[in-house]
Amino acid sequence: MQLPSKSLGRSFVLARGVPIIVAIILLVAPTPLHAQASAGQVYKSQINTVNRGIGGNAAKGTAEFRITGDELLITVNAEGLSPDMMHLMHVHGFADGKKAACATMRADTHKDGIVDVIEAMSVNGPEIIPLNKNPQDINIKSPTYPKSSKQGTLQYSTKIPLKGLQQNMQKKFGLAALNLENMVINIHGVDKKAKLPASVKSEMKLPAYQTVPVACGQIKRAQP
């Protein structure tokens, strides 16, 4: 039963003509800031190229997030990546519930022709879920991210406990629930030989070629 937040007044007149006011109070349950992902839900993402051509970058792909019971199955397939190298991949978002978006060249505040990882965060937020060996641990700086093939393709699939992930999201970011529809997926990394301007910034004390965004996709609710 839903209870209201507004009161609606209605007048009734008794037989002697004396009006009385009967207040009907309707309380509406507030909508939570972060919608809770639940069992049976499926989310998908079409991942498109960011910083096209840098170091031969033409990365693109797809991602799926499928919730079954207390498990989250994450699958990513990508191509056009710099070959034979580890690629950082993350789900990005904002702790305050703001909707994240993929960065465009408008985010290039340094005007060097490249959207670096710091510039991209202004629109897609920080890394929330690392797509490495154990995403639920939220260990962003990890050596267990997937590696591309010699053909520049990448296949990643893992199943993780949803409860453990949410507990760590709450602890590290203050996120009470997983709201994938407000998030994006980013793939990072170009060839080490790529000529990047000195103005291209990085993070986690990693060289810029490892953190520069190469592909991004908005995460959307799909049919199971």
Which range, of 15-19, 97-101, 154-158, averages the lowest pLDDT? 15-19
pLDDT surpassing 80 at residue 164: yes
The mean pLDDT value for 63-80 works out to 96
- Are 17 and 121 members of one domain? no
Is the predicted pLDDT of residue 27 greater than 70, yes or no?
Answer: no
Query: What total number of domains does the chain contain?
Result: 2
Per cent of the chain over pLDDT 90 is: 79
Shared domain for 107 and 200, answered yes or no, is yes
Q: Are residues 140 and 125 in the same domain?
A: yes
Are residue 206 and residue 134 in the same domain, yes or no?
A: yes
Sheet containing 213-222: give its strands across.
127-130, 89-92, 184-188, 213-222, 42-49, 60-68, 71-79, 154-161
Nearest 5°: phi and psi at 173? Answer: -125, -5
Same domain for 72 and 86, yes or no, is yes
Res 176: pLDDT: 82
| 52 and 63 housed in the same domain | yes
Instruction: Tell me which long-range contacts 56-63 makes (C-beta under 8 A, separation of at least 24).
Output: 56/82, 56/190, 56/191, 56/194, 57/81, 57/82, 57/190, 57/214, 59/187, 59/214, 59/215, 60/215, 61/154, 61/187, 61/215, 61/217, 62/217, 63/185, 63/217, 63/219
Residues 213 and 105 in one domain: yes
Q: Kindly report, residue by residue over 114-149, the tens digit of the pLDDT.
A: 999 999 999 999 999 999 999 999 999 999 999 999
Same domain assignment for residues 77 and 26: no
What is the reported pLDDT for 132?
Answer: 98
Domain hosting residue 108, numbered range:
33-222
- Going by C-alpha positions, the residue among 30, 73, 70, 33 that lies closest to residue 173 is 33
> What local confidence, expressed as pLDDT, does residue 114 receive?
97
Do 102 and 162 lie in one domain? The reply is: yes
99 and 206 share a domain? yes
**pLDDT average, residue stretch 182-201:** 96
One domain, residues 131 and 157:
yes
CATH number, domain containing residue 39: 2.60.40.200
The answer to whether residues 53 and 67 belong to one domain is yes
